[in-house]
């Protein structure tokens, strides 16, 4: 049974031969144009629809379900998929305890694995919204300082498999209970990371160039209404008031493919902090979210090593390479490597639904070679 | 002699009784409307003009100088000044050695005052572009976790006096020598900071809610062409290639007023990393800057304590309060306090020019009191 049946109907922005961008839904391996269903779908991004709010979203979803029964279908291979929304602010969290613990062990072995505030608030930081790109966009290997005086292409290019939440309705001081009044839907995120650049630069202000070169998102935004909810993970100690109740968890299963070999299966259901808590935290100080804000879960890593959402963890900082189907071994990404993250979720109507995939291929650059090589 | 004479002519966005926003220049204590001089000035933000590039900027500046001789002048008090540009990504650096050293001594007394990479690259982080506001916007005291389980209004509300650079022309991998091809002009920045919230949250991903509630900018963007350049500070060790040549320094003198008492005079000329180096660093990994990107110098602090651009330094984390003109003493900001940062610079034509001021008043909030008090 298709994971893109009428119970899913994720939204995307596509164009055909005329190059005009408009909003459609994915049905099986086709796209159904929604331009004639709602005038907000005759726009080049999802932002106007996302800004319109939950009542409009519900109405459109009902109308789309009826529409797709008889509507013309355009094969996916005949369209181009675009970045589905214009990104306002991009925020990335750090809400998998297994990820935070492993990264702490690897990068800061002399200190406690979890930072002092980790169980009290969802730690996060702001990323670069300009470099959020749609799945399929090539990922040039970034240059930077890998150590004192050591400039060149990163030698430790990594991924972070994450789930992203897309804000539709602006707001500030958003209680966890109002999560679904503001968040439009869910995408898959690969927050590409250059570990050597990041390690040299990140104290004390956090990741900067080690992250800001590219963040890929899947082209289909799955509406919250399509997803089943489940109880969130147990939290100890109990969080302070503004982080309660925790809000829903989601049973989203990721699968990470490295050149076609599945190397990891990160389970979102094991995340410590919920998306509702992340949004409440993000806005509790008065900061405003806008239509198009993207906030990502943080690397999704489960308790088993083969559930890790980064190669830093999976290969233990490159010291324990994985073997791909062609027999080659990898610690970090080589030029030409392709990473595809797939996602499947428990759907609101019972059956599993697809989140699609986010993919990117690493390309080498010689732009700086002349300056870089003596 | 006026610091806003025809040698300065900073750009801003204003509206009169009709509420229509348009671009003008400041001349003495008046605004001169440029709507009839260039159609790019009939827009609600500076972004279209900033995107048009240096040749257009130079042409408009020449035309504006001629125009203001006979043009009608509107008193400043008769207009409303708006956020002059739509902010794309907001980045904040940390490029005053004196500031970094003092903050290190205060917050991390057990470690080296300067982080390991500090003299090798301009450390920076991404901030929240949604909460950049124009001078005069009230600053609600932010709430957050001041420690484990300790939620409430910040008790250590601080300022950071900075100089901001506004990007006009998009680009990536921008050499230091191309600085003036991309940067449109300069504003004053106050990066309000909640030190208790920041201290609890910032490891390992950097400042987040301790900064993201408000960043104020001055309403007038002084074009680069109006500023004199000067040699940058000496850098030891010599930076890697992409950070050379250092590019111009600027003789910008800030003055910080706390409720009308001048408490500090931070000298931008003492900054270690230049704005050209910051832009080169920001983009060397392939990250793209867009029209409307704002990047700030980092807190401007000179070698003397009364040249510090933050109250954290000035009052040594509140332990050595300053005395204001009314005899009251302050460690950090109280509700009702007003901070105004003024700026003056050596002008390209010799005489000093004004950068105007950025001001904000702290307002208390009771929004969370019911939940906050037991």
ipTM: 0.96
Residue B157 has pLDDT above 60, yes or no: yes
Instruction: Flag if A204 and B108 touch (Cβ within 8 Å).
Output: yes
Question: What pLDDT shows up at residue A373?
Answer: 38
Strand order in the sheet with B261-264: B139-140, B352-363, B338-346, B252-258, B261-264
| Chain A residue with Cα closest to B172 | A213
- Mean pLDDT for all residues in chain A: 96
Q: What is the pLDDT of residues B160-176, one digit of tens each?
A: 999 999 999 999 999 99
Residues A60, A52: Cα–Cα separation, whole Å: 11
Q: Of A266, A232, A241, A229, whose CA–CA distance to A349 is shortest? A: A229
Question: What pLDDT shows up at residue A145?
Answer: 98
Averaged over B175-186, what is the pLDDT? 98
With beta carbons less than 8 A apart as the criterion, state whether B333 and B339 touch: yes
Which among A151, A173, A203 has CB closest to B241? A151
Q: In the structure encoding, which two tokens stand for residue B231, read together? A: 């040699």
Residues A36, A214: Cα–Cα separation, whole Å: 34
**CATH domain A90-372 topology:** Fumarylacetoacetate hydrolase; domain 2 (3.90.850)
Those residues with Cβ within 8 angstroms of residue B271's Cβ, 6 or more apart along the chain or in another chain: B95, B96, B233, B249, B297, B298, B300
- Mean pLDDT for all residues in chain B: 96
HEC readout, A245-274: CCCCEECEEEEEEECCEEEECCEHHHCCCC
* C-alpha dihedral (B30, B35, B39, B44), degrees to nearest 10: 80
Question: What pLDDT shows up at residue A366?
Answer: 65
Best of B99, B111, B126, B198 to disrupt the A interface by mutation (most A CBs within 10 Å)? B126
Instruction: Flag if B143 and A88 touch (Cβ within 8 Å).
Output: no
Question: Annotated catalytic sites of A, by residue?
Answer: 99
Q: What is the pLDDT of residues B233-258, one digit of tens each?
A: 999 999 999 999 999 999 999 999 99
Query: Which residues of chain B have a CB within 8 Å of the CB of A108?
Result: 204
Q: What is the pLDDT of residues A95-144, one digit of tens each?
A: 999 999 999 999 889 888 899 999 999 999 999 999 999 999 999 999 99
Does the annotation count B99 as an active-site position? Answer: yes
Question: What pLDDT shows up at residue B107?
Answer: 85
What are the boundaries of each domain within chain A? Answer: 11-82, 90-372
Counting Cβ atoms within 10 Å, is residue B110 exposed (0-12), middle (13-18) or buried (19+)?
exposed
Residues B66, B152: Cα–Cα separation, whole Å: 54
Q: Do domains B11-82 and B90-372 have the same CATH topology?
A: no
Q: What is the largest CA-CA distance in chain A?
A: 65
Residues B98, A243: Cα–Cα separation, whole Å: 38
> Is the dihedral angle over the CA atoms B343, B345, B347, B353 positive or is it negative?
positive
Counting Cβ atoms within 10 Å, is residue A345 exposed (0-12), middle (13-18) or buried (19+)?
buried
Instruction: Flag if B285 and A149 touch (Cβ within 8 Å).
Output: no
Averaged over A21-50, what is the pLDDT? 98
With beta carbons less than 8 A apart as the criterion, state whether B164 and B300 touch: no
Question: What pLDDT shows up at residue A107?
Answer: 85
Residue A371 has pLDDT above 70, yes or no: no
Q: Is B198 annotated as a binding residue?
A: yes
Residues A69, A78: Cα–Cα separation, whole Å: 20
CA B354 to chain centre: 14
Q: Is B299 annotated as a binding residue?
A: yes
Residues A64, A8: Cα–Cα separation, whole Å: 11
With beta carbons less than 8 A apart as the criterion, state whether B206 and A95 touch: no
Question: What pLDDT shows up at residue B113?
Answer: 87
Question: What pLDDT shows up at residue A365?
Answer: 78
Q: What is the pLDDT of residues B324-357, one digit of tens each?
A: 999 999 999 999 999 999 999 999 999 999 999 9
Residues A140, A229: Cα–Cα separation, whole Å: 37
Please report, rounded to a whole number, the percentage of residues in chain A having pLDDT higher than 90: 94
The string over B200-232, giving b where at least 16 C-beta atoms fall within 10 Å of a residue's C-beta and e elsewhere, is bbbbbbbbbbbbbbbbbbbbbbbbbebbbeeeb
Q: What is the largest CA-CA distance in chain B?
A: 65
Question: What pLDDT shows up at residue A106?
Answer: 92
Q: What is the pLDDT of residues B280-323, one digit of tens each?
A: 999 999 999 999 999 999 999 999 999 999 999 999 999 999 99
Partners of A340 in the β-ladder: A257, A359
Averaged over B74-83, what is the pLDDT? 98
Residues A82, B51: Cα–Cα separation, whole Å: 24
Of the residues B99, B182, B281, B342, only one is catalytic, namely B99
Residues A333, B245: Cα–Cα separation, whole Å: 33
In CATH, which superfamily holds the domain spanning B11-82? Fumarylacetoacetase, N-terminal domain (2.30.30.230)
Residue B371 has pLDDT above 50, yes or no: no
């Amino acid at each position: 049974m298709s994971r893109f049946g009428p119970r899913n109907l994720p939204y995307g922005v596509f164009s055909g031969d005329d190059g005009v961008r408009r909003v459609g839904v994915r049905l099986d391996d086709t796209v159904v144009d929604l331009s004639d269903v709602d005038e907000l779908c005759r726009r080049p991004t999802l932002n106007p629809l996302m800004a319109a709010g939950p009542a409009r979203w519900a109405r459109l979803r009902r109308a789309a379900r009826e529409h797709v029964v008889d509507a013309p279908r355009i094969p996916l291979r005949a369209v181009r998929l675009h970045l589905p929304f214009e990104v306002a602010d991009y925020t990335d969290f750090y809400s998998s305890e297994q990820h935070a613990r492993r990264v702490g062990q690897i990068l800061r072995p002399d200190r406690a694995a979890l930072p002092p505030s980790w169980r009290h608030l969802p730690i996060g930081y702001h990323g670069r919204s300009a470099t959020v790109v749609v799945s399929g966009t090539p990922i040039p290997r970034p240059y930077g300082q890998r150590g004192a005086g050591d400039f060149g292409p990163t030698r430790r290019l990594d991924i972070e498999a994450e789930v992203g939440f897309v804000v539709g309705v602006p707001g500030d001081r958003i209680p966890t209970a109002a999560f679904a009044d503001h968040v439009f839907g869910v995408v898959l995120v690969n927050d590409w990371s250059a570990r050597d650049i990041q390690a040299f630069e990140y104290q004390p202000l956090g990741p900067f160039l080690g992250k800001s070169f590219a963040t890929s998102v899947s082209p289909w935004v799955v509406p919250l209404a399509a997803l089943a909810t489940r109880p969130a993970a147990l939290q100890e100690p109990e969080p302070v008031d503004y982080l309660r109740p925790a809000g829903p968890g989601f049973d989203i299963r990721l699968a990470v493919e490295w050149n076609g070999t599945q190397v990891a299966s990160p389970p979102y259901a094991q995340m410590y902090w919920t998306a509702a808590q992340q949004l409440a935290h993000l806005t509790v100080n008065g900061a405003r979210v806008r239509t198009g804000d993207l906030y990502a879960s943080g690397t999704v890593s489960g308790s088993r090593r083969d559930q890790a959402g980064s190669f830093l963890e999976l290969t233990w900082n490159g010291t324990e390479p994985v073997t791909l189907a062609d027999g080659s071994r990898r610690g970090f990404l080589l030029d030409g490597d392709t990473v595809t993250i797939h996602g499947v979720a428990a759907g609101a109507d019972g059956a599993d639904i697809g989140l699609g995939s986010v993919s990117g291929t690493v390309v080498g650059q010689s732009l700086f070679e002349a300056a870089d090589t003596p």
